[in-house]
Amino acid sequence: MALHKLTISEASAAIEKGEISPVELANALFDRIDAVEKKIGAYVTITMEHAIGQAKEAGNRVRNGEKGKLLGIPMAIKDNMCTEGIKTTCSSNILGNFIPPYESTVTQELKERGYVLTGKTNLDEFAMGSSTENSAFGYTKNPWDTARVPGGSSGGSAAAVAADECIAAIGSDTGGSIRQPASFCGVVGMKPTYGRVSRYGLVAFASSLDQIGPITKTVEDSAILMNIISGNDPYDSTSAPAAIPDFTSVLGKEIKGLKIGIPKEYFIEGIDAEVGEHVKNAVKQLESLGAVPVDISLPHTGYAVATYYILATSEASSNLARYDGVKYGFRAEGKDLLDTYMKTRAKGFGDEVKRRIILGTYALSSGYYDAYYKKAQQVRTLIKQDFEKAFETVDVIVTPTAPTPAFRAGEKTADPLQMYLSDILTISVNLAGMPAISIPCGFTSGSLPVGLQIVGKHFDEEAVFKTAYAYEQSTDWHKRKPKL
Amino acid sequence: MQYETVIGLEVHAQLLTGTKMFCGCSTRFGSGPNTQTCPICIGMPGVLPVMNKKAVEYVIRTGIAVDCRISSYSRFARKNYFYPDLPKGYQISQYELPLCEGGFVEIPDSGSTKKIGLTRIHLEEDAGKNIHGGANLSFVDLNRTGVPLMEIVSEPDIRTPKQAMEFMKKIRTILRYINVCDGNMEQGSLRCDANVSVRPVGQREFGTKTEMKNMNSFKFVEKALDYEIKRQIKMLADGGKIVQETRLWNAERGITESMRSKEEAHDYRYFPEPDLAPVEVEASWIEKIKADINELQDVKKARFISQFGLPEHDAELLTSERSVAEWFEQAVSLGGNPKNVSNWMMGDLMRLLNEENIPIQNCPLKPAHLVDLLKLIEDGTINRNQAKSVFVEIYKRGKVIQAAKGKMNLPALKIEVYSEVKVIDIVKEKGLAQISDESEIEAAINDILEKNPGEVERFKAGEAKLMGFFVGQAMKATKGKANPKIVNELLRKKLG
């Protein structure tokens, strides 16, 4: 049995039955990492020793009769979530030596349930980017075509899942950073409702948009992880006190009569023809399962990218102010305080991060605030209202996840605007705070995966999971594996 | 030309919450550097603030005490600037939609009162402290980082440095009364900045203002403003222009010095804090806080006058501090005559406390001691002068007991020292009790009259002032212990 190919539900069943031990499973994963990591570069830090220790501990718990979906499951964590005693870099030089003395709430939940941390995955520095090319610690490649990017910013997590370098992974999504790489890598990426999952310990990029979510091989695994990481956290006042349903309980339920909104603004020029075709076919597939397509409009979609890049960069300019070389992380000594600040930040941050800090600082500056930040907040409200209005008549909204399949490495690095546009179909969802998933819905003639995005109402991840699972189970896309 | 001064104050008050504004760290003053810190107040990556509800409550309590409108919907904002004592690179403060708006306080002003309007009261977090050492080194202590700080902003209603000082005093009294701030200016738990400008009398628009910082005592507030106003007037009189800038009070040199000009002023890039939900203050919460609020000074003073029949001067002094008022009321409730209690407190008690700078709540002499003492005076056991020496003795012994209690583990201390000192014991010990036994006094008087027949003759012939001589002799004979009332009565009877 190729243990590294297992899903969470398969692996936990095998562990529970005693067919495999957590240590065997962990070893299998590290063998796989040994074999393919050089080609992929999914990890910033591989934590093998730590992982074997965790696997042994999980094995003890299994022998003591404990059961649990995550007991002994090897998982990768995006390197912008703090892990106590384990380097957390955000793929930035400025945090290149940072070892947090605390654990993020999400990884704490996983730890308590006995997960095994395979390592910390690569990302665009501070999650700013759509290709994982903006990393201080090397590029991550797309397992389907290593000349192409895995998407970003959770490119390391998505590539690790696609290349079977972990059983599942955790990512974060500010403007599409879970869904777009999931789409590019042919895996399942879920961005929960804003407030569903605690952000405590997630190194902030844009606080009002960031959400943590799972990247998995199947919809079922996604629901399993969501059951674990969801919930109100006393350490995050933006986490919602909403009740947590059992997300796996909706899997397999019929979608007959389910109204799926097809927003006209998402099927336009600029969408790759093959991507458009696959998504239209997916809609037909859902229709054949009893769902009812409804044409809808989200009229303010055209403003989403501009709105996002004002709000996200504004928040980022403030969130990243703490990296000043005074307390922790990288410091470049200067001749005085100001010089130390400037040298530290000039050398510590990469170009894209600096670009966004400058943009955000500008947008918040006295005299520009009203024209940029305030206006963008107003447009954000309109975008949110678009979705709320649409959801008065439909249960979920279906769109492509990204306008194109994975692009070539270096193709867009010279043109930030082109890069920003690769999030055009995911960004609105963050601005509106809705939950959305990306699942595989076909392959291009060049054998690149295409992703289907399913968006739900606030705190209605159940409808998203139900739809995604129904589609997944009626197709074989999720079973394909890249040849490595 | 005659100039008029315009002053507005920004008062910063550290709130008396036990923990910081966004984390569970202690707010205690004076601990070792960086011992009261955690990943949250140090601003480590990925941490989030969680609001201390008590801090919000204290601001609302203050707002109620000074007649503000309490906002039902209030928001926090980030104030962005770089400084080593600000670990996040931004301070969580309030900008639009503060917790309280409007309101006023009344200050004494040349025999009458003056209303000073308030613009707003908001809540923010304090910064840490930079400590500049030798050898070109600086250190950062983040213990104070994240301590809840309330900012009270006045309208530009203040016209003189004296009024500014009175305003500060009034704010301090109120904050201490409602128990939201200890008002300690030396430790920096109460601080103030001032916006100062002058304009020719009659001119409506304001002159160019300067912002004054670093005035950490009432005296300095008055002195610094006084200096700054004179500086501005002289500047204008000499044909110069006021530069809008921030100036620091240099207490050593007694002058204000330029710190940074308007051009160098920060652009704080305020924006709503995305990590905190807006605060919604329900009317029921305000009502609850209102009900809990302590009686304010003005109300208490009026009550002291009407309930205890105290003169205004006494009532003013006794209510200046809540703890003083409490001490007084305790003594009265134990049966002390209000005016007598007041006299002793404002006289001997305050003198002793002020000499050693001891707050009244730590006074080694308790209200019960004073009441016992007053009773002994009333029933004639001791006279006023004797009472004074007993008073001082109890105070001293009480201090020994307090010190002993602080070092309870010292076995060498005698056990008696732990028991409370009693007034009557001291009186007995000193042998101070008056002689009220008539036969004893009569014997002494008879003796005196026998030995001084000449004086007796002269008295009987009408030289009334000799009564003093006889009394003096009687007191002398009884070593001052004779009850003077009885001495007088007996002398009159005998010489009659």
Query: DSSP labels for A326-356?
Result: SSSS-----SSHHHHHHHHHHHHS-HHHHHH
Angstroms from A236 CA to nearest CA on chain B: 6
The per-residue pLDDT of chain B, averaged, comes to 89
Per-residue confidence (pLDDT) for residue B406, from 0 to 100: 62
Per-residue confidence (pLDDT) for residue B214, from 0 to 100: 80
Q: Which two tokens stand for residue B137?
A: 């080194």
Please list the alpha-helical segments (H only) found in A412-458. 416-421, 427-432
Question: How many CB atoms are closer than 10 A to CB B72?
Answer: 12
Mean pLDDT of A80-102: 97
Chain A CB contacts of B39 under 8 Å are 100-102
Higher pLDDT residue, A387 or B461? A387
Touching A: B residues 21-60, CB under 8 Å: 39, 42-51
Chain A CB contacts of B85 under 8 Å are none
Per-residue confidence (pLDDT) for residue B413, from 0 to 100: 42
Q: Best interface-test mutation with A: which of B19, B44, B52 has the largest number of A CBs within 10 A?
A: B44
Beta strands in A20-108 (DSSP E): 43-46, 74-78
pLDDT tens for each residue of A173-231: 999 999 999 999 999 999 999 999 999 999 999 999 999 999 999 999 999 999 999 99
Per-residue confidence (pLDDT) for residue A1, from 0 to 100: 64
Mean pLDDT of A85-94: 98
Chain A CB contacts of B49 under 8 Å are 237
Mean pLDDT of A303-325: 97
Q: Do B275 and A207 touch (CB under 8 A)?
A: yes
Identify the DSSP state of A325. S
Q: Tell me the domains of chain A and their CATH numbers.
A: 3-255+465-479 (3.90.1300.10)
pLDDT band at B405 (very low <50, low <70, confident <90, very high): low
d(CA B310, CA B231): 45
Per-residue confidence (pLDDT) for residue B30, from 0 to 100: 87
Residue B225, SS3? helix
Chain B's closest residue to A363, CA to CA, is: B269
Pairing, β B3-14 against β A449-456: unpaired
Touching A: B residues 178-237, CB under 8 Å: none
Q: Best interface-test mutation with B: which of A322, A342, A370, A373 has the largest number of B CBs within 10 A?
A: A322
Does the structure show a pLDDT above 80 at B479?
Answer: no
Q: Is A208 on the interface with B (CB under 8 A)?
A: yes
Higher pLDDT residue, B63 or B357? B63
Q: Is A368 on the interface with B (CB under 8 A)?
A: no
Q: Do B90 and A104 touch (CB under 8 A)?
A: no
Does the structure show a pLDDT above 80 at A423?
Answer: yes
d(CA A263, CA A301): 10
Angstroms from A473 CA to nearest CA on chain B: 37
Q: Residue A448: how many CA atoms within 13 Å on its side-chain side?
A: 21
d(CA A12, CA B48): 33
d(CA A223, CA A233): 19
A78 is catalytic: yes
pLDDT tens for each residue of B89-136: 999 999 999 999 999 999 999 889 999 999 999 999 999 999 988 778
Q: Do B276 and A327 touch (CB under 8 A)?
A: no
| Residue from the list B47, B87, B275 with its beta carbon closest to the beta carbon of A238 | B275
Chain B's closest residue to A314, CA to CA, is: B271
| N-terminal to C-terminal alpha carbon distance within chain A | 18
Does the structure show a pLDDT above 80 at B304?
Answer: yes
Q: Do A318 and B80 touch (CB under 8 A)?
A: yes
Mean pLDDT of B294-306: 85
- A15 neighbors A228 (Cβ within 8 angstroms): no
Contacts (Cβ under 8 Å, ≥6 apart) of B169: B107, B218
Amino acid B40 reads: I
Q: What separation in angstroms does the CA of B482 have from each of A325, B443, B444, B479, B493?
A: 81, 12, 10, 8, 17
pLDDT band at A476 (very low <50, low <70, confident <90, very high): very high
Place of tokens 């979530």: A81
User: Which is catalytic among the residues A91, A104, A135, A177?
Assistant: A177
Contacts (Cβ under 8 Å, ≥6 apart) of A335: none
Contacts (Cβ under 8 Å, ≥6 apart) of A341: A324, A325, A334, B82
d(CA A324, CA A339): 11
Q: Is B137 on the interface with A (CB under 8 A)?
A: no
Which among B48, B407, B437, B180 has a CA at the least distance from the CA of A200? B48
d(CA A103, CA A334): 32
Does the structure show a pLDDT above 70 at B333?
Answer: yes
Q: Best interface-test mutation with A: which of B41, B51, B82, B141 has the largest number of A CBs within 10 A?
A: B82
Q: Do B46 and A201 touch (CB under 8 A)?
A: yes
Q: Do B89 and A321 touch (CB under 8 A)?
A: yes
Does the structure show a pLDDT above 90 at B293?
Answer: no
Pick the range with the lowest mean pLDDT from A256-265, A386-395, B321-330: B321-330
Q: Tell me the domains of chain B and their CATH numbers.
A: 3-285 (no CATH), 295-429 (no CATH), 438-495 (1.10.10.410)
Place of tokens 């000043």: A324
Mean pLDDT of A347-371: 96
Touching A: B residues 279-298, CB under 8 Å: none
Q: What are phi and psi of A446, to 5 degrees?
A: -85, 15
Pick the range with the lowest mean pLDDT from A7-16, A375-384, A410-419: A410-419
Chain A's closest residue to B46, CA to CA, is: A203
d(CA B345, CA B326): 12
pLDDT tens for each residue of B101-111: 999 999 999 88
Residue A156, SS3? helix
Classify residue A466 as left (phi > 0), alpha (psi -120 to 50) or beta: alpha
Chain B CB contacts of A366 under 8 Å are 267, 269
Chain B CB contacts of A312 under 8 Å are none
Angstroms from B395 CA to nearest CA on chain A: 51
Angstroms from B100 CA to nearest CA on chain A: 22
Q: Which helix (H) or strand (E) holds A120?
A: strand A116-121
Higher pLDDT residue, B216 or A288? A288
Classify residue A72 as left (phi > 0), alpha (psi -120 to 50) or beta: left
d(CA A102, CA A407): 37
Mean pLDDT of A158-182: 98
Q: Do A318 and B87 touch (CB under 8 A)?
A: no
Touching B: A residues 376-435, CB under 8 Å: none
A177 is catalytic: yes
Higher pLDDT residue, B222 or B474? B222
Q: Is A127 on the interface with B (CB under 8 A)?
A: no
Q: Which two tokens stand for residue B429?
A: 């010990």
d(CA B100, CA B89): 26
The per-residue pLDDT of chain A, averaged, comes to 97
Q: What separation in angstroms does the CA of B244 have from each of B7, B8, B197, B227, B263?
A: 14, 15, 10, 17, 9
Q: Percent of chain A scored above 70 by pLDDT?
A: 100
Classify residue B183 as left (phi > 0), alpha (psi -120 to 50) or beta: left
Q: Is B90 on the interface with A (CB under 8 A)?
A: yes
Sign of the torsion formed by the C-alpha atoms of A333, A338, A344 and A346: negative
Touching A: B residues 9-28, CB under 8 Å: none
d(CA A347, CA A312): 22
Burial bucket for residue A461 (CB in 10 Å: 0-12, 13-18, 19+):
buried
CA angle B97, A201, B31 (to 5 degrees): 75
Contacts (Cβ under 8 Å, ≥6 apart) of B70: B60, B63, B64, B99, B100, B281, B286
Chain B's closest residue to A236, CA to CA, is: B48
- Bridge partners (DSSP) listed for residue B249: B256
Percentages helix, strand, coil for chain A, rounded to the nearest 5?
45, 15, 40
- A316 neighbors A357 (Cβ within 8 angstroms): yes
| Residue from the list B48, B84, B267 with its beta carbon closest to the beta carbon of A326 | B84
Chain A's closest residue to B51, CA to CA, is: A237
Mean pLDDT of B166-192: 92
Which among B453, B362, B360 has a CA at the least distance from the CA of B405? B362
Residue A469, SS3? helix
d(CA A9, CA A6): 8
d(CA B102, CA B83): 32
d(CA A77, CA A301): 32
Per-residue confidence (pLDDT) for residue B418, from 0 to 100: 45
Q: Do B47 and A337 touch (CB under 8 A)?
A: no
pLDDT band at B407 (very low <50, low <70, confident <90, very high): low
Output Rg (C-alpha) for chain B, integer angstroms.
31
- A49 neighbors A63 (Cβ within 8 angstroms): no
Q: Residue A106: how many CA atoms within 13 Å on its side-chain side?
A: 34
Q: Which helix (H) or strand (E) holds B428?
A: helix B423-429
Chain A CB contacts of B140 under 8 Å are 326-327
Per-residue confidence (pLDDT) for residue B416, from 0 to 100: 44
Percentages helix, strand, coil for chain B, rounded to the nearest 5?
40, 20, 40
pLDDT tens for each residue of B388-404: 888 988 888 888 877 77
A375 is catalytic: no
User: Which is catalytic among the residues A12, A69, A78, A130?
Assistant: A78
Count helices and strands (H / E) in chain A: 15, 11
Query: DSSP labels for B245-310?
Result: EEEEEETTTTEEEEEEETTT------EE-TTSPPEE--HHHHHHHHHHPPPPHHHHHHHHHHHH--
pLDDT band at B475 (very low <50, low <70, confident <90, very high): confident
Amino acid A172 reads: S
